[in-house]
Amino acid sequence: MKVLVVDDSKAIRQLVAECLRELRHQVDFAENGAEALQYVADQDVDLVLMDVEMPRLNGFEATQAIRELRKSDWFPIVFLTTRTDDDSFCQGILAGGDAYLQKPLNPLRLRYTMVAMERIYLMRQKLQKSQQQLQLANQELEWLSQSDQLTGLANRRRLDSVLALQFALAQRNNSVLSVLVCDIDYFKKYNDSYGHVRGDECLVEVAKALSDQLRRSTDLICRYGGEEFVAVLPATLLVEARELAERMRHAVQALGIAHASSECGRVTLSIGAAAHLGQYSSPDELIKAADAALYRAKQLGRNRVEIG
Ligand SMILES: Nc1nc2c(ncn2[C@@H]2O[C@H](COP(=O)(O)OP(=O)(O)OP(=O)(O)O)[C@@H](O)[C@H]2O)c(=O)[nH]1
């Protein structure tokens, strides 16, 4: 453990340090309560051995201040003191101390108090580790709950929350928010001709081609469901959204995935674009506008971009 020895007597500091080093602990020193408080504010420590009678801040005051400073971070504080009366003992424990050793120092008692405190310290280490693991597992779970299993893109759930946030930001900042709704053409026929496994592989490739086209960290592409994808493009004008949509359409066609029932013999994409400049009252309306443009793209022959 990393132990801070706080005592205004150099002789006692040296005596305690000798005992602790025999037990293979790392030792640092402070000469009074104020120094101890500064040390704990600046550095990590696993245990404090604290004298009580000291100039400036005494041991009880320093302990109270340390507990206040490191509220969520417990480490043992053990008093080393000549004050043997019950009142002092109670005062020390209430100030935030965990054990009370008398001076003159009995090395055996110090040694075994350290053994007891180290046991608690190790349990605490274990608890902290499992809390960290739990936190990581929760983060992973949260990430998974917002991702599409097949393509790894964000899923509908994440889209809903990001779109709601970006819509509110666009309203507040009077900025433009564009969306693209993309749909693979004749995908039912693709599945019918090549099977569902190839259909899934096609979705994965298309998803990657779409996400590869995004240039801004604030853009989001998600799998909206089935063979539909939605891109959310904050601070993006309709003309810019259209350019991106064309890039996406070309990228999918350039994959060269054979599709005998499609006009050009390859998998293609139809895209509807819409931009919110304050005219829509909800994210849903914005998506509906892009959806209507997508419908037109399908009507006009597919493999094209239409704007709402
Ligand atoms: N392989 C696979 N197919 C899916 C998945 N999700 C949806 N589909 C299929 O995608 C097809 C979508 O068909 P439709 O909505 O009729 O659209 P389409 O055939 O692409 O026709 P257009 O959009 O008009 O060009 C359906 O056959 C769904 O079964 C999936 O996760 N994997």
3-class secondary structure per residue, 98-122: CEEEECCCCHHHHHHHHHHHHHHHH
Same structural domain for residues 163 and 134?
A: no
Measured in angstroms, how far is the CA atom of residue 44 from the centroid of ligand 1?
58
Distance CA 152, CA 205 (A): 11
Measured in angstroms, how far is the CA atom of residue 185 from the centroid of ligand 1?
9
List, for residues 133-167, the tens digit of each pLDDT value: 999 999 999 999 999 999 999 999 999 999 999 99
List, for residues 13-47, the tens digit of each pLDDT value: 999 999 999 999 999 999 999 999 999 999 999 99
Q: What is the CATH number of the domain that holds 219?
A: 3.30.70.270
Measured in angstroms, how far is the CA atom of residue 188 from the centroid of ligand 1?
4
Whether 144 is in a domain gets the answer no
Calculated CA dihedral for residues 160, 162, 165, 170, nearest 10 degrees: -110
Residues 6+ apart with CB under 8 A from 161: 146
List, for residues 197-227, the tens digit of each pLDDT value: 999 999 999 999 999 999 999 999 999 999 9
Residues 6+ apart with CB under 8 A from 222: 148, 153, 154, 155, 156, 158, 159, 162, 229, 230, 231, 232
Whether 119 is in a domain gets the answer yes
Same structural domain for residues 34 and 161?
A: no
Determine which helix (DSSP H) or strand (DSSP E) holds 12, and give its type and residue range: helix 10-22
Give the end of a domain, one of 83, 111, 138.
Answer: 138
**Residue 227 known to be catalytic:** yes
183 CA closest ligand 1 atom index:
23
Tell me if 51 sits within 8 A of 7, measured CB to CB. Answer: yes
Candidate of 150, 186, 187 to mutate for ligand 1, largest count of ligand atoms within 8 Å of Cβ: 187
Tokens of 135: 């936190």
Tell me if 93 sits within 8 A of 67, measured CB to CB. Answer: no
What integer pLDDT is reported at residue 71 of this predicted model?
A: 87
Of the candidates 129, 104, 131, 119, the residue with the CA atom closest to the CA atom of residue 47: 119
Domain region containing 214: 156-307
Whether 151 is in a domain gets the answer no
Q: What is the CATH number of the domain that holds 13?
A: 3.40.50.2300
| pTM for this predicted structure | 0.71
What integer pLDDT is reported at residue 56 of this predicted model?
A: 82
Measured in angstroms, how far is the CA atom of residue 241 from the centroid of ligand 1?
25
List, for residues 271-288, the tens digit of each pLDDT value: 999 999 999 999 999 999
Structural domain total, the chain: 2
Nearest-CA residue for atom 14 of ligand 1: 188
Nearest-CA residue for atom 30 of ligand 1: 226
What integer pLDDT is reported at residue 73 of this predicted model?
A: 85
Measured in angstroms, how far is the CA atom of residue 160 from the centroid of ligand 1?
22
Ligand 1 pocket residues where CB is under 6 Å:
150, 183-189, 191, 196, 199-200, 203, 226-227, 298, 302
Nearest-CA residue for atom 16 of ligand 1: 188
Q: Say which of 31, 35, 227, 306 is annotated catalytic.
A: 227
191 CA closest ligand 1 atom index:
1
pLDDT average, residue stretch 74-99: 94
Give the end of a domain, one of 108, 138, 168.
Answer: 138
